[in-house]
Chains A and B, each alone.
Chain A
């Protein structure tokens, strides 16, 4: 019980892993394309949480090992991940709109024009 009261890096990693699993379930089981895209955003957020938690961990490590108070590489990485998530969401939703114009449905099951 005492170990649950002191929040270590591991707590953040477990939270990130739980969100990742939820996102994977969303991607694999939902039919609605927009909800699948939102589950992908959930996955990316879990990754960001991992990165920022590790950046905080490395801030406490000694400088000769690559740490120190200026070792904010995880935070920089997570800023780039947010940027990429924005770009990917924009393009993905553009594809969705183009497809919806043709087929009038948002279910992934019915994206089967190339099925043999």
Chain B
């Protein structure tokens, strides 16, 4: 099952992610864009599972799809943009934007075709299934300082968001 399933699931999930990404940037209705982004995020969590990163997949589902996207949907509903659906969707510099993105895409294509053989295809042994424990060992060991700074960053973000959105300070 493994030799057939991996490319099938990879191409299926990659197709879902790319279609979701295209829908995010082209929909008129912001709620439809948010739904497409949720689909992309869930497909990405499945790709993390394929890359043997179950803890990051779980974090992605809980935080990104279940937290950040709820925040986005809340704000879209508070801002209530039926008016903006009838206006122009793309700004006046869209031509320059597309040219810049095409240049970026060309750069990526050049890098990937030139460096196609830099990553030798070694056979990976099946990893044991205590990924969470290994992540925890690294996170609370080597990256303890970054962990504390991230928690401080979240505290600052909470206070900042509350102060920004209050009517009267």
Partner of B52, one of A41, A56, A95: A56
A21–B104 Cα gap in the complex (Å)?
Answer: 7
Q: A42-B40, A79-B56, A82-B64 are in contact. Are A31 and B89 (CB under 8 A)?
A: yes
**Extra A-B contacts (19), CB below 8 Å, given A4-B7, A24-B101, A91-B157:** A8-B121, A12-B51, A21-B104, A31-B89, A32-B30, A32-B89, A35-B33, A45-B40, A55-B51, A59-B124, A59-B127, A69-B127, A69-B134, A70-B138, A72-B138, A75-B53, A76-B143, A98-B165, A100-B79
The residues in A between 100 and 116 inclusive whose CB is less than 8 angstroms from any CB of B are: 100-101, 105-109
Residues 51-90 of A, flagged 1 when their CB comes within 8 A of B and 0 if not, give 0110111011100000001101101101110111111111
Report B-chain residues with C-beta under 8 Å of the C-beta of A18: 18, 21
Report A-chain residues with C-beta under 8 Å of the C-beta of B59: 79, 82
Q: Are A97 and B164 in contact (CB under 8 A)?
A: yes
Partner of B88, one of A31, A52, A91: A31
Nearest CB in chain A to that of B13: its residue: A15
A-B contacts, CB under 8 A, total: 236
Partner of B84, one of A21, A49, A105: A105
Residues 30-51 of B, flagged 1 when their CB comes within 8 A of A and 0 if not, give 1001100100110010011001
Report A-chain residues with C-beta under 8 Å of the C-beta of B116: 10
A7–B167 Cα gap in the complex (Å)?
Answer: 52
Q: Are A14 and B112 in contact (CB under 8 A)?
A: yes
Instruction: Kindly provide the distance from the CB of A68 to the nearest chain B CB, expressed in whole angstroms.
Output: 11
The number of chain A residues with a CB under 8 A from chain B is 77
Chain A residues at the B interface, C-beta cutoff of 8 Å = 4-15, 17-26, 28-32, 34-35, 37-39, 41-42, 45, 48-49, 52-53, 55-57, 59-61, 69-70, 72-73, 75-76, 78-80, 82-91, 93-98, 100-101, 105-109
Report B-chain residues with C-beta under 8 Å of the C-beta of A90: 71, 157-158, 160-161
A86–B72 Cα gap in the complex (Å)?
Answer: 11
